[in-house]
Chain A
């Protein structure tokens, strides 16, 4: 085949393909997916796969995406991290150490889950440094949340659950003249949702049913540094842990689900496409060879094909998963799926090849003394390429589904981020039953969309390349 012919046939194909609306939609979706997969490190961050198995400590757990606020009457706090440059601007030096002033504008019905002061490092050579946190509320009341909390090394100070903060809040409420039942006081000391009180309207219900008090809160953090001691703010962070997070919320480990979905597209596309290409190629060569050889060789090859066809793939794949120690690496999944994937195609390819075999040019090539390999590769397989291309596209969804199913069963590659694995975690954590829809819906939709993309492309290719199948 000369280059000129190739170019011409390609442009002919394209002008035909352009008329297939669904095919174009498929191509558009495919470009979108490829872009997402390639740009994953840029869109999120390159270290996602490395830290995917860990807990993301800074993030809230099991919270919905930020945009739920647009649909519900109750505004939930967004996630806010103050670090680096932004934090350095808030720090001023004083005689006894440092003073950090943070203003937080609470415009939510449900305040942040927690206020965390994190990774502040104290080097205690002399006395230990200590922290005092005060807040000035929009109603003018001032509360000292924690006083002279001594620390050394890295600290993680969670104000929302700290016993001293709870005690201070109770004492403050009492000093403002509100009675608390002594029996209940003990309960509040151990179980109070402190942030709801900090950001709550001041009335007698502040402990029982805190109502949100919106406005600007001024937090003052005083760090007392004794002589001979130093404090480093390099990695320090102040986190107002949200009740919502990002575009797709978080899961039980606090992982950002959007980045999981974006990285998962890589695995899906790579596995889907490579399995489809490999298994279709094997199937075509197998079928053509079988047809061309004929006789007892054909018989043996077809017996083997039947044998492969009568093995159910899923149970065997699960057994393989157990064999590989409960986890199948990605390349192993590709190999296994290809082993089971070529079978159906081989049968169709053989019946097509049987017709091609009778054509005169194959006869002519034989008479000219062409070898078996040459006839199969040069004269027969190219005839089947149109069918092969369409089949490749149509085999992708099955491969993607199989990979997702294996990952869902917990047999996937633990080092990779995949959609099936996200769903496995969701099932284990009872996400559907607890109503964490943002954890269940997106991964499945992504799987379905990839499947749909290739079905659209495949059916369009089929119509263009195999005109016999044009719509009735």
Chain B
């Protein structure tokens, strides 16, 4: 099986998953939206009726007029169609990124879900990648160091930190950071929404200052577990024969570790990098809402608090999309780096 064919199969697989998940989501969503739309319609008809009353143009038969208006809106929102028709309708709309509008504006005056997401996602990526780059560098450095000194005090301390940090909710740690650095010491602003009056360098400095706490939170909570996994992979690799051979050849230790061992350990490490990226995305998204960082997490919080079904649907879809893309990239990287394996269920065993 060639790499091209393998690639096509992975992408097809992801598309199938996306289709099924979207279908399930649409089926759920139609049910949720139904309640929502009915309330909206009744409110609208009532408002129209009052407007007519104020003008002195009250319809002769109010009940018949009401029924007719309700019917009109029901057909406008397709509520008169059968359930499955609506599911496939939403399904198509979702796949074409048509999520409609929110009831109340988010981020100033924006009501269009796609526009809101377009504003929010880059911000999330900005925060998240910054944190992840720091985590990866820290993790590799510390993990390799611990693997060199197995059983030392440093190694034990790293294991304990990894153990404790893995059971701490990231968003709670964010609250603690706010409590200490924002409330107690006053070093950083408590809200991450940038100051609109600043431009140029001042603006960049402002953003960096506001990013510091959320980034620190993500890094502190995640780096321990990371370093620990790298340590375990490296311990396995360091016992391989080719490392012994390299050492015997008299190659300097640093070169042995970072040139030979780390390269051999690359496939699992890269996959892990991508999977932990995906895994921590959820935690980071919740953490955003603590710092009111105006990314996806903040939008999620607003959407849940104000019951914006369209927005939740859009967010969910985009999230699944990002996740699937990540899974494909992880698979490809693995297949690319490690020619011995062709990833896939049937190839494994």
Interface, chain A (partner B; CB < 8 A): 299, 302-303, 305-307, 310-316, 318-323, 325-326, 351, 354, 397, 400-401, 404-405, 408-411, 423, 426-427, 431-435, 437, 440-441, 443-444, 447-452, 454-456, 459, 471-472
Contacts and interface: CB of A to CB of B under 8 A. Distances in A.
B166 A319 contact: no
A322 B319 contact: no
A312 B164 contact: no
B17 A311 contact: yes
B39 interface: no
Contact of B178 (A303, A311, A316, A433): A433
Interface in B308-343: 309, 312-313, 315-316, 319-320, 323-324, 327
Given A312-B278, A351-B349, A408 B167 contact: no
Contacts of B290: 427, 432
A398 to B, nearest CB: 9
B253 to A, nearest CB: 19
Contacts of A456: 163
A318 B305 CA distance: 12
A312 B172 CA distance: 21
Nearest to B189: A433
Contact of A299 (B175, B283, B346): B346
Interface in B3-50: 13-14, 16-17, 20-21, 25, 28-29, 31-32, 35
A322 B309 CA distance: 7
B190 interface: yes
A428 B327 CA distance: 34
B179 interface: yes
A427 B289 contact: yes
A89 B235 CA distance: 74
Contacts of A452: 163-164, 167
B17 A307 contact: yes
B349 A354 contact: yes
B168 interface: yes
Interface in B183-205: 183-184, 190
A427 B298 CA distance: 12
B293 interface: no
Contacts of A401: 167, 169
B301 A409 contact: yes
Given A397-B167, A410-B304, A319 B313 contact: yes
B99 interface: no
Contacts of A434: 183
A397 B183 contact: no
B105 interface: no
B52 to A, nearest CB: 33
B327 A310 contact: yes
Nearest to B14: A310
A472 B307 contact: no
Interface in B143-183: 150-151, 163-164, 166-169, 171-173, 175-176, 178-179, 182-183
Given A299-B346, A444-B175, A322 B167 contact: no
B175 A426 contact: yes
Q: Count chain A CB atoms within 10 A of each CB in B32, B150, B289 and give the residue with the most.
A: B32
A319 B304 contact: no
Chain B contact residues: helix, strand, loop or mixed: helix
A312 B345 contact: no
A321 B304 CA distance: 9
Given A306-B13, A452-B163, A408 B286 contact: yes
B90 interface: no
A447 B172 CA distance: 10
21 contacts: A302-B346, A303-B345, A307-B17, A310-B17, A311-B320, A311-B323, A316-B21, A319-B316, A322-B304, A322-B307, A354-B349, A401-B167, A410-B304, A423-B175, A432-B190, A435-B183, A440-B172, A444-B168, A444-B169, A444-B173, A448-B169
B307 A440 contact: no
A440 B316 contact: no
Contacts of A455: 163, 166-167
A315 B309 contact: no
A305 B345 CA distance: 9
Contacts of B316: 315-316, 318-319
Contacts of B32: 322-323
Contacts of B172: 423, 440, 443-444, 447-448
A244 B162 CA distance: 36
Given A310-B14, A314-B282, A319-B28, A451 B183 contact: no
B167 A451 contact: yes
B176 A299 contact: no
B285 A314 contact: yes
Contact of A315 (B20, B151, B176, B319): B319
B175 A411 contact: no
Across the A-B interface, give the 9 residue pairs with the lowest CB-CB distance, nearest first.
A451-B167, A444-B172, A314-B282, A432-B178, A315-B319, A302-B345, A312-B323, A435-B183, A432-B175
B91 interface: no
B300 interface: yes
A353 to B, nearest CB: 11
B31 A408 contact: no
A119 to B, nearest CB: 36
A382 to B, nearest CB: 22
B116 to A, nearest CB: 16
Given A303-B345, A315-B315, A405 B309 contact: no
B349 A322 contact: no
A67 B184 CA distance: 19
A65 to B, nearest CB: 15
Contact of A319 (B25, B175, B182, B285): B25
Given A302-B345, A310-B14, A354-B349, A441 B176 contact: yes
Contacts of B281: 312
Contacts of A454: 167
B186 to A, nearest CB: 11
A81 B176 CA distance: 33
Given A310-B323, A326-B304, A435-B183, 15 more contacts: A316-B21, A323-B28, A354-B349, A397-B167, A405-B283, A409-B304, A426-B175, A427-B175, A431-B175, A432-B182, A432-B190, A432-B290, A440-B179, A441-B176, A443-B172
A316 B320 CA distance: 9
A404 B169 contact: yes
A463 B133 CA distance: 33
Given A319-B316, A472-B235, A448 B307 contact: no
B327 to A, nearest CB: 5
Contacts of B309: 322
Contacts of A447: 167-169, 172
